[in-house]
Structure formats: structure tokens, C-alpha cells
């Protein structure tokens, strides 16, 4: 019985680590996306709007793997 509990505990901890990693990747991509939009606005290379929200497309591609 103790072995069974230990296996479940390890599975839960592993799942938590994966979700935390996924959250960190998502936050990093959103931060980079925001910085690119800000630089486009600041330096006049575009309207500053995130047309099509490419950050979400990249994030979905990464998380799908």
C-alpha cells in the first residue's frame, strides 16, 4: 500500500512540475510579445497593435508538442 501511495505522490509532483514549466513558458512568450509591441510603438515601426496576436499562435504551437 505504501508503494502505491508513493507512486501517486511522484505522479502528482511530476504533473505539478510540468504545469509550472508550461506556465513559465507561457509567461515568457507573452512578455516577449509585449516587448515587441512596445518597441514597435516606441520607434514608429508599426501601429503598435498586435494584429493576429502572433504570440498566442507561437504559444499554442509550443504547448501542442
Environment class of 56 (CB within 10 Å of its CB; exposed 0-12, middle 13-18, buried 19+): middle
Residues 64 and 56: their CA atoms lie apart, in Å, by: 12
Return the pLDDT at 28.
78
What residue segments make up the domains of the chain, in order of their start?
19-64
Q: Find the mean pLDDT for residues 38-65.
A: 61
0.75 exceeded by pTM = no
Cβ neighbours of 37 (radius 10 Å): 19
Q: For residues 59 and 29, which has the higher predicted lDDT (pLDDT)?
A: 29
Q: For residues 48 and 4, which has the higher predicted lDDT (pLDDT)?
A: 4
Query: Could you tell me if 50 and 33 are in contact, meaning their C-beta atoms sit under 8 angstroms apart?
Result: yes
- For residue 58, is pLDDT > 70? no
Amino acid at each position: 500500500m505504501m508503494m502505491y501511495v508513493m507512486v501517486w505522490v511522484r505522479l502528482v509532483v511530476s504533473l505539478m512540475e510540468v504545469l509550472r514549466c508550461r506556465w513559465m513558458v507561457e509567461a515568457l512568450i507573452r512578455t516577449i510579445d509585449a516587448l515587441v509591441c512596445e518597441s514597435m510603438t516606441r520607434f514608429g515601426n508599426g501601429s503598435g497593435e498586435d494584429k493576429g496576436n502572433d504570440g498566442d499562435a507561437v504559444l499554442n504551437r509550443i504547448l501542442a508538442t
